[in-house]
Amino acid sequence: MEYILIFISAIFVNNIVLSQFLGICPFLGVSKKVETAKGMGLAVTFVLVIATIVTYLLQIWVLNPFNLQYLQTIVFILVIAGLVQMVEIVLKKLSPSLYQALGVFLPLITTNCCILGVAILVANGTYNGQGLEPSLLTGVIFALATALGFALSLIVFAGLREQLSLIRVPKGMDGMPIALVTAGLLALAFMGFSGIDKGIALFFN
């Protein structure tokens, strides 16, 4: 039950982009077409889950036992950068079709702050686990749910922008300003979900 709540909370209530403001760069940058948005969403989901597992284990087995917590930021960003490269190489060998689909997006992911952000949240255990103890399993589920939330908002936003490109916009608002206002309205719509996780928790208890 708690696992389902983590999903609902991370995808709708505390959406990583629209309420936590992580991963805005790809959200604004690669949301012109639904097709590319799908590719980016898939790539982020893939890397985010792997990066969370690796950084969590690193925190538990290396940083905590040796009292090196202050090196967290440096170690995590290097691990993520290396990991993205490795994923790229492995995918190229094992699954060329998936590599074709994700290829262009993978290098962009290193500077996507939602990867480092979620890795730090999970490693510190400061995410919303819906009452479950922070562990590898809840961390991975949280990461997967967050990534799906990212993909959902990215694809919905890309759909909106595709429609938006068909209409005439006042000159000063053209391009990024109108995209930001659209994102604001989307965030307003997602605010409507606030509280449903607690409602569902009450309903089942």
Partner 1 sequence: MNNWKVFFNGLVKENPTFVLLLGMCPTLGTTSSALNGMSMGLATTFVLICSNIVIALLKNLIPDKVRIPAYIVVIASFVTLLQMLMQAYLPSLYASLGLFIPLIVVNCIILGRAEAFAAKNTAIPSLFDGLGMGLGFTWALTLLGAVRELLGTGAVFGLTILPSSTNMLAFVLAPGAFIVLGYLIAIVNKIKK
- Regarding 20 and contact with partner 1 (CB under 8 A), the answer is yes
- The C-alpha atoms of residue 135 and residue 128 are separated, in whole angstroms, by 12
Contact string 125-144 vs partner 1 (x = CB under 8 A): --------------------
53 and 147 in contact (C-beta within 8 Å)? no
| Amino acid, res. 28 | L
Say how many CA atoms lie within 13 Å of 124 toward its Cβ: 14
DSSP 133: P
- The C-alpha atoms of residue 116 and residue 100 are separated, in whole angstroms, by 25
Contact string 63-92 vs partner 1 (x = CB under 8 A): -------xxxxx--xx--x-----------
- Regarding 23 and contact with partner 1 (CB under 8 A), the answer is yes
Map the footprint of partner 1 across residues 26-65, applying CB under 8 A.
28
Shorter beta-carbon distance to partner 1: residue 104 or 173 = 173
Tokens (6 digits) for 116: 């480092």
Among 68, 188, 195, 198, binds partner 1 (CB under 8 A): 188
Helix runs in 59-175, H state only: 72-94, 96-102, 106-109, 113-124, 136-164
Q: How far is the CB of 178 from partner 1 (least distance, A)?
A: 7
52 and 143 in contact (C-beta within 8 Å)? yes
Q: How many residues does the chain have?
A: 205
Contact string 92-131 vs partner 1 (x = CB under 8 A): ------------------xxxx--xx--xx----------
Shorter beta-carbon distance to partner 1: residue 96 or 107 = 107
Residues lying near partner 1 in the complex (CB under 8 A): 18-25, 28, 70-74, 77-78, 81, 110-113, 116-117, 120-121, 172-173, 176-181, 183-185, 187-188, 190-191
